[in-house]
Amino acid sequence: MPGFIEQIEPLKQSALAEFQASEDLASLEQARVSCLGSNGKFTALLKQLGALPKEEKPLAGKAINSSKVELEAALARRRNELELKAAFPKEPTDFTLPGRRRIVGKLHPLTQVTEDIVRSFRKIGFVVADGPEVEDDYYCFDALNTPADHPARDSQDTFYLSNSTQAGQSSPYLLRTHTSSVQIRVMEKQAPPVRIIVPGRVYRRDNADATHNPTFHQVEGLYVDRNVTVGDLKGTVEFVFRELMGPETQIRFRPHYFSYTEPSFEIDFSSSLTRKIGKQWLEIAGCGMVHPQVFENVGYDSEEWSGWAFGFGIERIAMIRYGINDIRLFYENDQRFLKQF
Ligand code: DAH
């Protein structure tokens, strides 16, 4: 029987060899248990330390402890290697391939333009209001001073919901032709002053072509207070269009007719964008001073209150801004188109 100290080295060597020979974490664990576990060979040797004669103990203790430290370090090193190996791909992998790009979505160009318009109006104290796309005849036309026999209805033919007429409803449901209906809904609910803009979807009985679509988007504006003037209207429109179309944008009002405003105007604008498409002036919006009859319809005193309103198409703004020549591109959801904005 060799002495205590002589037993240490061979035991250590065989344990080191066993650790190194382990090819996976499970067999390494087995090797650890058989050496350093509570019934392990090395542990058994340690237990004999106590039985040694007193004078042999210091040397023997030192030897066995340093071996233990060495074994534990070797075990940890091998465990690291095997963990790394386990995490490695099983198949051959080309680490030089480029990573997979995550595609980040974008807002639709119409949403972007709408948000820009809203942002500009917010700067001057307007709030966003909303109303239903399925409207009735009253809000869309009658309350806006456009009775059933009014010729202005011809240019705004729309889709009627057949069940509302069958049910004998006096004011049939329809898809709203403009966001102007929201003027009425807001004024019915709220006392003046009013300062709203209304972005939203509208419908017309139109055939789709490069500049028309049966559904499109508008922004309506309404300002009601005491002593409001055409000057306020023009200044506001000028501010917003300069924000949208560039600081050198010019605005021009031309007399026009809308049944819910008096006087009424069409707004033309001029900028490098209009000149780019070969035009000095381009018609962009309708507006005017709110007709006294409209105020009376919602219960406002037209002697006390005055105001202006305007409406314009969002697609048209976006088309001019980005140089788009066909409105239908907005609705086709073609990634090649949408990615550009
Ligand atoms: N509703 C009109 C349209 O769809 C646009 C419009 C014109 C709105 C004059 C207004 C306005 O508020 O005062 O063509």
How large is the average pLDDT for residues 249-259? 96
Residue 113: CA count within 13 A, CB half-sphere: 24
The answer, yes or no, to whether any atom of ligand 1 lies below 6 A from the CB of 288, is: yes
- C-alpha 227/C-alpha 303 separation (Å) is 10
The answer, yes or no, to whether any atom of ligand 1 lies below 6 A from the CB of 286, is: yes
pLDDT, tens digit (0-9, with 9 covering 90-100), for 126-158: 999 999 999 999 999 999 999 888 888 888 889
pLDDT, tens digit (0-9, with 9 covering 90-100), for 19-69: 999 999 999 999 999 999 999 998 998 888 888 888 888 888 899 999 999
* Distance in Å, CA 285 to ligand 1 centroid: 7
Backbone dihedral angles phi then psi of residue 198, each to the nearest 5 degrees: -130, 95
* Distance in Å, CA 71 to ligand 1 centroid: 87
The answer, yes or no, to whether any atom of ligand 1 lies below 6 A from the CB of 220, is: yes
Per-residue pLDDT, 156: 82
Q: Output the CA–CA distances (angstroms, integers) from residue 153 to 143, 144, 164, 173, 299, in the order listed.
A: 13, 11, 19, 15, 24
* Closest ligand 1 atom to 179 CA: 1
* 3-state class (DSSP) for residue 113: helix
Per-residue pLDDT, 89: 82
* Distance in Å, CA 181 to ligand 1 centroid: 10
Joined together, the tokens standing for residue 231 give 């000057």
* Closest ligand 1 atom to 258 CA: 9
Q: Is 209 exposed, middle or buried (0-12, 13-18, 19+ CB in 10 A)?
A: exposed
Task: Please give the share of the chain, as a percent, with pLDDT higher than 90.
Answer: 77
